[in-house]
């Protein structure tokens, strides 16, 4: 634990701006002098007290609720004082300043040595202390931030499940099974005369198989949870006037992008996050792709290609009303060839054939190409549901059971590492003459990868990255 973790900390714990209620939170060891200075009395633990919060001259800064949570029964595991006042920014700043002033006065009087170093908290420091004091594990700490940042109802419910420990429970169950298997292998190493017969009698292979099967289920749910948290980046691309802006507006259900019959109306990207079955999709409308002498339009087209290169999926929009003209078809073919050269093979491209309301069914069927494709009308909305289903399909989303928990990319990567180490362990057990020391090492590395998820094996650098993304006061 770093030296700064011993300092008492204080912060405004509510979002900036005006509101009915605002909260100032203090956490640290021995904050009783601060309670007396601000509230003028001792507070019964875990009971709300309505009273004035006083300045150094005894004048009331505000009237509100004060709650005191003695360690270890608090959010951080330390003594915590929470002041709930009116939510004006000036009032809250006055209370924050008063906390720092009272701590300094207590030190000057010689009775507040325990308050030495009271300072404003860094982002995420309250939750970091909860983690360091074993109130929550790292996966639960991340779930707090994910719950706050959730962009869909499904993501919020999944984050709540992770916060209550659903994801951590699965990881701990995997760890316990892995430890038991490691124990068998280590015992065989300690008593080599038993050799492989001991592992066979203990059904080490069966234990490893069951462990891999359980891991596969956890990985599948974690991937779904990561998709709920992160969503995917979808870029709409195509020639000018193919209906890209109309498609963005139709998907979003709002007039976000300007739509005109003039080619080149969209000069820069327009972005909107939508949700389909709770999965966030970050949809980006880009400038029409063509040769242009207009400098502003050329910049927009260059940015469009940048967005396409970084997409998780691309909607390549085609105008059915012009698709049978030679020039238009040639330009579409050139764009398709350029996309193939710029995009990784794993990035799906959906051919969206727009304006089915402008051609007959036979013409639309004749012009539509092969591969992953959908026909629709951005103007009437026909075919939009087919596109939404296809977007979920390319994202890898499956019908979300209630058991899905929120997860992050680092969790998915850690579980991939566990799977790789268990695969190596499986190969060793299947070998005619297993190298038991290598088997033991692979199981140890798998356990370490699991521990990185919950914070049992975590570097200080990673903790800094994780908690710096929190708001101050949480």
Q: Which residues are annotated as a binding site for Mg(2+)?
A: 245, 266
Beta strand extents in 221-359 (DSSP E only): 232-238, 270-276, 279-285, 313-319, 349-354
| 266 Cβ neighbours under 8 A, 6+ residues apart | 244, 245, 257, 258, 285, 286, 287, 288, 300
Residues flagged as binding site for K(+): 241, 260, 262, 265
Which residue in this structure is represented by tokens 């770093």?
2
Please state, in angstroms and rounded to a whole number, the distance separating the CA atoms of residues 383 and 209.
Answer: 45
Q: Residue by residue, what is the 3-state secondary structure of 369-383?
A: CCCCEEECCCCCCCC
State the binding site for (6S)-5-formyl-5,6,7,8-tetrahydrofolate: 25, 82, 135, 474
Residues annotated within a binding site: 25, 82, 135, 241-246, 260-266, 285-288, 377-379, 474
Dist. CA 125–CA 471, nearest whole Å: 9
464's CB contacts (< 8 A; 6+ apart) are: none
Q: Is 332 exposed, middle or buried (0-12, 13-18, 19+ CB in 10 A)?
A: buried
SS3 content of the chain, % helix, strand, coil (to 5): 50, 15, 35
Q: Starting at the edge strand that comes first in sequence, how are the strands of the sheet with 270-276 ordered?
A: 270-276, 279-285, 232-238, 313-319, 349-354, 373-375
Annotated binding site for GTP: 241-246, 260-266, 285-288, 377-379
Cβ atoms within 10 Å of 50's Cβ, excluding its own: 9
Q: How far apart are CA 35 and CA 46, in angstroms?
A: 14
Tokens describing residue 418: 């566990």
Q: Which of 88, 86, 81 is nearest to 25 (CA)?
A: 81
CA proximity to 79, closest of 114, 108, 49, 123: 114
CB atoms within 10 A of CB 102: 24
Could you tell me if 259 and 327 are in contact, meaning their C-beta atoms sit under 8 angstroms apart?
no
Please give the Cα distance from 424 to 163 (Å, whole number): 32
Q: Is beta strand 270-276 parallel, antiparallel or unpaired with respect to 60-69? A: unpaired
């Amino acid at each position: 634990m770093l030296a700064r973790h011993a300092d008492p900390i204080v912060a405004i714990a509510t979002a900036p701006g005006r509101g009915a209620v605002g909260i100032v939170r203090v956490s640290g060891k021995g904050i009783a002098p601060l309670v007396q200075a601000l509230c003028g009395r001792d507070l019964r633990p875990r009971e709300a007290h309505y009273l004035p919060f006083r300045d150094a001259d005894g004048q009331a800064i505000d009237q509100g609720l004060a709650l005191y949570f003695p360690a270890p029964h608090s959010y951080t595991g330390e003594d915590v004082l929470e002041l709930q006042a009116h939510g004006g920014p000036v009032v809250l700043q006055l209370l924050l300043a008063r906390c720092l002033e009272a701590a300094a006065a207590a030190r000057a009087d010689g009775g507040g040595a325990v308050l030495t170093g009271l300072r404003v908290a860094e982002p995420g420091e309250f939750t970091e202390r909860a983690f360091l004091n074993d109130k929550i594990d790292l996966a639960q700490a991340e779930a707090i931030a994910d719950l706050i940042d959730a962009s869909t109802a499904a993501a919020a419910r999944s984050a709540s499940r992770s916060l209550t420990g659903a994801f951590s429970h699965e990881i701990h169950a995997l760890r316990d099974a892995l430890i038991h298997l490691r124990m068998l292998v280590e015992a065989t190493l300690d008593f080599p005369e038993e050799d492989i017969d001991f592992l066979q009698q203990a059904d080490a292979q069966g234990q490893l198989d069951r462990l891999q099967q359980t891991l596969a289920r956890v990985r599948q749910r974690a991937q779904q949870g990561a998709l709920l948290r992160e969503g995917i980046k979808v870029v709409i691309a195509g020639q000018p006037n193919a209906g890209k802006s109309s498609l963005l507006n139709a998907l979003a259900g709002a007039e976000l992008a300007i739509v005109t019959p003039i080619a080149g109306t969209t000069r820069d990207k327009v972005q909107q996050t939508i949700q389909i079955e709770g999965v966030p999709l970050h949809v980006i409308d880009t400038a029409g792709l063509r040769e242009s002498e207009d400098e502003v339009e050329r910049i927009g087209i260059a940015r469009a290609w940048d967005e396409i290169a970084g997409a998780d999926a691309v909607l390549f929009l085609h105008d059915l009303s012009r698709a049978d003209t030679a020039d238009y078809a040639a330009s579409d073919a050139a764009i398709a060839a350029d996309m193939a050269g710029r995009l990784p093979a794993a990035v799906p491209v959906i051919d969206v054939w727009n304006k089915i309301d402008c051609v007959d069914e036979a013409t639309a069927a004749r012009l539509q190409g092969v591969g992953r494709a959908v026909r629709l009308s951005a103007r009437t909305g026909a075919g939009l549901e087919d596109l939404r289903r296809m977007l979920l399909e390319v994202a890898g989303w499956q019908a979300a059971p209630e058991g899905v928990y929120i997860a992050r990319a680092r969790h998915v990567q850690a579980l991939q590492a566990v799977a790789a180490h268990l695969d190596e362990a499986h190969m060793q057990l299947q070998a005619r003459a297993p190298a038991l020391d290598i088997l033991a090492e692979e199981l140890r590395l798998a356990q370490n990868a699991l521990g990185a998820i919950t914070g049992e094996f975590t570097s200080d650098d990673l903790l800094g990255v994780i908690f710096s993304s929190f708001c101050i006061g949480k």
